[in-house]
A and B are shown apart, each in its own frame.
Chain A
Amino acid sequence: MIEAELFRSVQRWCEGATAVTGAAKLSGGASQETWRFDIMHPDGPIGAILRRSPKGYGAAPTRAAGLAAEAQLMQLAYEAGVPSPRVLHVLTPDEDLGTGFIMQRVEGETIARKILRDDEFAAARPRLARQIGGVLAGLHRLPQDKLPELRNRNATQEIFEFERDYRSLNWPKPVFELALRWLRDHDPGPSAETTLVHGDFRNGNLIIGADGVRAVLDWELAHLGDPMEDLGWVCVNSWRFGEIDKPVGGFGSREELFAGYEAAGRSVDPSRVKFWEVMGTLRWGIMCGGMMQRFREGPDHSMERAMIGRRASETEIDLLRLLVPRGS
């Protein structure tokens, strides 16, 4: 039982802990799992989250920073005042729990559609676009000398990698070809400044409460690069969940996002943000193709994966809306 293994680990670093209860798997693919559980303690229960690769699944996908790096980044963010869960413990091999870490559970909502529709978040919603600007500014200012080892990618390298991924699918899509041409023609080159880039900062990877952003999750695609990449990705239409006139996660306008970012003392390059929004839209489309390929060839023969393959056309219409808009 995972509760027994967790309790053995918890006893080592949480003095006074008396039990581990309520362990439940929240999500999990073959290679990565998220569990919630409670640590019983005389001072009151502590809500916790385990994020791990089970034993035998140590190898991270090529683009991922790895769970150890993720733990380090979340801790750095927490210390710098960027909304983030506190990391309680990094797993060691002798604990028999696989690789990963345990963090404090932050209460709130991550399901984008609920955040966009439920009354509970009505007061927070109009403030979120600007608040997200401030959070991103803080994230981009994390001290580089303390970061774990991360890959470094500029726009030119990213275009090259996405083109390679797309061609490997052998899935000729004229709209994707058009987007690749546009990206090559509008490649802004290396940015003046290289910072930490979260890599998957979007509605769905944020814990939101009635008071706004409580935590930034899913740091596994973190890398070094152009900070404008995060501002573009958060605007990709796929993460607006139907609220297509509010580019920033369905919450608000680019102007609000930029104002929040600039109020925190950093500057915005809107043309780079646009470049990364186009890149991000294509990126999600190619990822949908990857899902189709894994559904066909891989061990995950699930209906969900199959249907994500059929969402590539959503990114095609969004690319056309960005690159070849029709009269309004």
Chain B
Amino acid sequence: MQDEPTPVELTKSVADFLRSDIAPLIEGHQAFKLRVAINILDLVTRQLTQEQGSDAKEVERLRALLGVDGSVGDLNGVLAERIANGEVDLATPGLAEHLWATTMDKLAVDQPNYASYKRELGRGG
């Protein structure tokens, strides 16, 4: 078992330092790049916080939908293949709900400020 602070806490401390202490000192293209860097650290923090929970739920849905077991990566591969060959489509019970839930969990990490995401979140997640 590794010691603490946790990766989330460590990453967040770097992001906070860059945001409050460094960003005000920099301008122009480097300031733009710094904003990208801070965005990356924030994304990593969100992923470290949320991924375990969302992956577990995704695997559970995929097992029910596909009737097979595997890692979240493997099961996504199986689902992609079944949609491609027409075995699974929007008439398949649970597919639409699964894709919506999975996509919402991805946006929560990738781009929580994306307008489409905020609109859909307003419909109840």
Q: Whole-angstrom distance from the CB of A105 to the nearest CB of chain B?
A: 21
Report the Cα distance A180→B106, complex, angstroms: 20
Check if B84 sits within 8 Å of A244, measured CB to CB: no
The CA of A316 and the CA of B102, in the complex, are separated in Å by 10
Residue among A173, A306, A313, A327 facing the most chain B CB atoms (10 A cut-off): A313
Minimum CB–CB distance for A304 against chain B, Å: 6
Q: A321 to chain B: which residues have CB within 8 Å?
A: 116, 120
Q: Are A311 and B111 in contact (CB under 8 A)?
A: yes
Q: Known contacts A174-B99, A175-B99; is A180 also within 8 Å of B84 by CB?
A: yes
Contact with B along A128-167 (1 / 0, CB 8 A): 0000000000000000000000000000000000000000
The listed residue with most A CB atoms (<10 A of its CB), out of B36, B37, B84, is B84
Cβ < 8 Å to B, chain A residues 249-305: 303-304
Contact with B along A214-256 (1 / 0, CB 8 A): 0000000000000000000000010010111000000000000
Contact of B117 among A174, A178, A181, A317 (CB under 8 A): A317
Distance in Å: Cβ of A67 to nearest Cβ of chain B = 25
B116 touches A326 (CB 8 A): no
Residue of A nearest to B108 (CB): A313
Q: Is the interface of B mostly helix, strand, loop or mixed?
A: helix
Q: Are B110 and A320 in contact (CB under 8 A)?
A: no
Closest CB of chain B to A241's CB: distance in Å? 9
Residue A59 is within 8 A (CB to CB) of chain B in the complex: no
Q: Which residues of B are interface residues toward A (Cβ below 8 A)?
A: 33, 36-37, 39-40, 43, 76-77, 79-81, 83-84, 86, 89-90, 96, 99-100, 102-104, 106-107, 110-111, 114-117, 119-120, 123
12 contacts between A and B (CB under 8 A): A174-B80, A174-B99, A174-B102, A177-B84, A181-B89, A244-B119, A303-B36, A317-B114, A320-B100, A321-B116, A323-B90, A327-B123
Q: Please, which residues of chain A bring their CB within 8 A of the CB of B119?
A: 244
Residues of A within 8 A of B103 (CB): 175, 313, 316-317, 320
Pair B106/A177 contact, Cβ less than 8 Å:
no
Complex formed: what's the CA distance from A181 to B114 in Å? 26
Contact across chains for A310 and B80 when beta carbons are under 8 A apart: no
Chain B residues with CB under 8 A of A95: none
Total interface residues in chain A, CB < 8 Å: 31
Once bound together, how far apart are the Cα atoms of A320 and B106, in whole Å? 13
Are A326 and B123 in contact, CB atoms less than 8 angstroms apart? yes
A303 close to B33 (CB less than 8 A): yes
Q: Which residue of B lies closest to A177 (CB)?
A: B83
**By the criterion CB–CB under 8 Å, are A314 and B80 in contact?**
no
B residues in contact with A316, CB < 8 Å: 103, 106
Contact A313 B83, beta carbon cutoff 8 Å: no
Interface centre among B37, B86, B115 (most CB of A within 10 A): B115
**A318–B116 CB distance below 8 A:** yes
A255 nearest CB across to chain B (Å) = 21
How far is B104's CA from A313's CA once the two chains are assembled, in angstroms?
A: 9
Q: In the assembled complex, which residues on chain A have CB atoms less than 8 Å from the CB atom of B84?
A: 177, 180-181
Q: Is A313 in contact with B116, judged by CB distance below 8 angstroms?
A: no
Q: When chains A and B are docked, how far (Å) is the Cα of A279 from the Cα of B36?
A: 28
Distance to closest chain B CB from A71 (angstroms): 28
Within the complex, which residue of A178, A181, A313, A323 is in contact with B110, where a contact is CB–CB below 8 Å?
Answer: A313
Q: A237 contacts B76, CB within 8 Å?
A: no
A296 to B99, CA, bound (A): 27
A323 to B79, CA, bound (A): 18
B110 and A174 contacting across the interface, CB-CB below 8 Å = no
Known: A313-B110, A314-B116, A326-B123. 14 other contacts (CB 8 A): A172-B80, A172-B81, A174-B79, A174-B80, A174-B83, A174-B102, A175-B103, A178-B83, A306-B40, A313-B103, A314-B111, A317-B116, A324-B90, A324-B100
